[in-house]
Amino acid sequence: MKIKEILSQNKILPLATICSESDARNITTKLIEAQCPILEITLRDERVRSILHIFQEYSGFTAGLGTIRTIDDIDLAINNNFTFGITPGFSPNLCIYAQSKDFLIIPGIQSASEIMQASEMGYSILKFFPAELSGGANKLKALQSVFPDISFIPTGGINKNNLKSYLELENVICAGSSDFVSKDMLAAGEWEDIVLNIQNIKKDLI
């Protein structure tokens, strides 16, 4: 299945900073159990770099590497067989490098100008970050008629309460948030609560 289909079928993209092998295994197992077999793993803790291979051990699970800011980060994603990578902003250099390696990245954008540049480079799935601070769902709605061929993954400030306002837009394929697998639940190892939380969010979207 193509990444666009995987994202649009799942509707939500949980984001998490994972620091240990056991957390990596637990979160992957629990997201699969919650029927949300996808995760953006952020590069916000150095410890995650050595455990990225774990996410590939689970069949049917799609792992994306987030917070990619350098060429080394792209190599890290490729060496660990990641399906895709996400950059918080738009970097033509990183896009050119990723394309030379045939690696899919989802560039982050905030403005019409950045959308035009990313589109010129062949990208049609973009992260809209930080979504709430950059104009939120109203801004994405305004961009729809100008860029009908572009799909967005809004991220940044999205939670259970404003999620629907994004997902009801035609140009949003999926919404990302660190709120779906909260830091507190992760830190406390509340795996069953994580499953319930994701199940409830997904149930609410039907």
Binding-site ranges for ligand 3PG (CB under 6 A): 15, 42, 66-67, 88, 129, 155-158, 176-179
Q: Pick between residue 16 and residue 34 the one whose CB is nearest to ligand 3PG.
A: 16
Known catalytic residues are 40, 127
CB closest to ligand 3PG, residue no: 178
| Min dist. Cβ of residue 30 to ligand 3PG (A) | 19
C-alpha dist (Å) from residue 19 to 15, 41, 183 = 13, 10, 11
Output the smallest distance, CB 194 to ligand 3PG, in A.
15
Cβ distance to ligand 3PG smaller for residue 42 or 171: 42
Question: How far, in Å, CA of 67 to CA of 42, rounded?
Answer: 5
Residue 114's SS3 state is helix
Shortest spacing between CB 17 and ligand 3PG, in angstroms: 9
Packing angle, helices 21-33 and 191-204, rounded to 10: 40
Q: Which two tokens stand for residue 118?
A: 């990313």
Give yes or no for a cis peptide into 130 (omega within 30° of 0): yes
Q: Which is nearer to ligand 3PG, 98 or 100 (CB)?
A: 98
Alpha-carbon torsion 105, 80, 66, 201, what sign?
A: positive
Could you give the strand order of the β-sheet that contains 108-109, starting from the edge strand earlier in sequence?
108-109, 125-128, 151-154
Nearest CA-CA partner of 84 in 30, 22, 20, 40: 40
Residues 6+ apart with CB under 8 A from 117: 90, 92
Smallest distance from ligand 3PG to CB 61, Å: 20
Between 146 and 197, name the residue whose CB sits nearer to ligand 3PG. 197
Contact 111, 135 (CB under 8 A): no
CB of 130 to ligand 3PG, least distance (A): 6
